[in-house]
Chain A
Amino acid sequence: MQLSFKRPSILPGFWPAFSYSVLYLSLIVLVPLSAVFLKAASSSWAHLWKTITSPNVVASYRLSFGASLVAGLISVAFGFLVAWVLVRYQFPGRTAVDALVDLPFALPTAVAGIALTSLYTENGWLGHYLTPLGIKVAFTPLGVVVALTFIGLPFVVRSVQPVLADADQELEEAAVSLGANRWQVFSRVIFPLVRPALLTGFALAFARALGEYGSVIFIAGNMPMRTEIAPLLIVTKLEQYDYAGATAIAAVMLITSFLLLLGINALQRRTRSFMDVS
């Protein structure tokens, strides 16, 4: 049995390392996570259904999915632009700019949340100019989109950058020598190459945005039915000791994220095979 499970090797330490990894993985991740599904399964279906179809939960799902979608699309547009400039052009401070792209990964979400809120309130640095134009960002769904774009941008840049850097420049030169103009080269040669990476970046940004909490709750204002995101409702239910209700909302979100994660993995396999071919 041992032989069929593991290919023999002279390297030591497989069994201790393997057993420790599996044990630790189970204790920290798998067992606690299964609590969600066991809790959901042990609650009455009527209660679960009532929770996830109640108007404020439906409204929060709509906001969370809608804002994540919009933020993901904005991240794709700006992320592509940033990746393009970083890979193809030389300008002073390029290394520093490249490092700054990761700031949303490194900055604690609560810090991002209060900083963004202070910028976009009526007398904030940006809100100050936007309010006279009739654009309200803080404490509206637009504010949620702004926070989620901040969070999502690096995912797109970091997905697209390596693909763009690896793109074979001979393809481009060939297209030019065959008489293609710049726009044709871009739309027929470069864009098809980076499309899978853009999609991966979008999916990663979207998945992260769905569950995001810290950077959103400050700028959202958390008005019932209008600017409450789904993760906030989970927190509210937990504070009211409605564990079954919180679990129901969480189960829907977990299933969605896992489906997304599977999709992302499939996409990345495709991206890789694409890069191998090119």
Chain B
Amino acid sequence: MATAAPALVLTGTKSTVAKLDPPLVRWGLTLLALLSLGLFIVLPLVAVFVQAFEKGWRAYLAAVQDPNTLSAMKLSLLTVGIAVPLNVVFGVAAAWTITKFNFTGKNVLVTLIDIPFGVSPVISGMIFVLMFGAQGWFGSWLADHDIRIVFAVPGIILATTFVTFPFVARELIPLMESQGTEEEKAALVLGASGWQMFFRITLPNIKWGLLYGVVLCTARALGEFGAVSVVSGHIRGETNTLPLHVEILYNEYNYSGAFAVASLLSVIAVITLALKKFLEWKTAQEDK
């Protein structure tokens, strides 16, 4: 898997090894690492919040409660509400097939699932324009039947589904691989039906990993910009998601508005990180 060991939890420091480094080196390196993280990663986050409140609470609330912001929020939630469940069902089905059975071409399937991670967001959006745009494969047929897919809501949902496609499957495959098939087989031998086995054995075993995948998938679906930008018609109040709304406000030089909406997305990002840490800890606990 490309991102190494998702469930890595900080173990106790190898104190004997650490003590081999002189204190000056230890503290110097720690300081340097914290400084670079602070500069590269924490400062941008702080900048978002400071600039969101630059014009005070009232301006902030006005920007957040603006009808265009609210409709962007609604579209973002609708997109997440469709894309995430679709990818959860796929993720569970794919992981079940891949980890519990042996069949020819398994590795090919695993590789194919990773594809969307290797594709530029812009290209992820473009492929749907090529299929459903005016000059696309189904373009004239769709026009005849007055169905709009790209530059409309269905295109946004499709592009988001594509971009977040691997997340759940990717979290489940290593987890279910390590759990093996013993417990499921035992359940069957004891007379459980297929669904009973799934809901009483498999699902409880994978619940934290599944939740972890859902969290990552949701965060990405809410924040996706490049792919959605290509397939959205940028129609305010209709085809704008939250990140696209941030761009529009920013390009209109409404900086405090842009950062106010951006701060909502940043809060979600921070919650995601906290949940991620919690779920990593939870999975590590279950393993013990």
Contact = CB atoms under 8 A, between A and B. Distances in A.
A28 B163 CA distance: 10
B120 A231 contact: yes
A253 B272 contact: no
Given A35-B130, A108-B225, A246-B126, A150 B11 contact: no
B127 A234 contact: no
Residue from A94, A119, A185 whose CB has the most chain B CB atoms within 10 Å: A119
A257 B273 contact: no
Contacts of A39: 130
A39 to B, nearest CB: 5
Contacts of B18: 88-90
Contacts of B259: 114-115, 118
A85 B33 contact: yes
Interface in A143-168: 149-150, 153, 155, 158-159, 161-163, 165
Interface stretch (A13-21, A50-58, A134-142): A13-21
B47 interface: yes
Contact of B17 (A32, A82, A172, A238): A172
B225 A9 contact: no
B190 interface: no
Nearest to B91: A21
B97 A21 contact: yes
B165 A243 contact: no
Given A24-B90, A102-B273, A176 B20 contact: yes
A22 B246 CA distance: 36
A76 B11 CA distance: 23
Q: Which secondary structure dominates where chain B touches chain A?
A: helix
A29 interface: yes
Interface in A1-40: 4-7, 9-14, 16-18, 20-22, 24-25, 28-33, 35-36, 39
A266 interface: no
Nearest to B262: A111
B47 A125 contact: yes
A36 B127 contact: yes
B2 A90 contact: no
- The A contact surface, by secondary structure, is helix
B207 interface: no
B216 to A, nearest CB: 8
Interface string B85-128: 01001100110110011111000010111111011111100111
A118 B165 contact: no
A114 B230 contact: no
Contact of A231 (B115, B226, B258): B226
Contacts of A5: 103-104
A169 B16 CA distance: 9
Interface of A: 4-7, 9-14, 16-18, 20-22, 24-25, 28-33, 35-36, 39, 78, 81-82, 84-91, 94-95, 97-112, 114-116, 118-119, 125-126, 149-150, 153, 155, 158-159, 161-163, 165, 169, 172-173, 176, 182, 185, 197, 200, 204, 207, 210-214, 218, 231-232, 234-235, 238, 241, 243, 246-247, 250, 253-254, 257-258, 260-261, 264-265, 268
The 3 closest A-B pairs by CB, nearest first: A211-B120, A108-B223, A213-B226
Interface of B: 1-5, 8, 10-11, 13-18, 20-22, 25-26, 29-30, 32-34, 36-37, 39-45, 47-48, 51, 86, 89-90, 93-94, 96-97, 100-104, 109, 111-116, 118-123, 126-131, 133-137, 158, 161-162, 165, 181, 184-185, 188, 194, 197-198, 216, 219, 222-226, 229-230, 242-244, 246-247, 250, 255, 258-259, 262, 265-266, 269-270, 272-274, 276-277
20 contacts: A10-B185, A10-B188, A13-B198, A17-B94, A24-B90, A29-B116, A32-B162, A36-B127, A94-B10, A103-B42, A107-B269, A111-B48, A213-B120, A213-B122, A218-B250, A231-B122, A241-B134, A247-B126, A247-B130, A264-B2
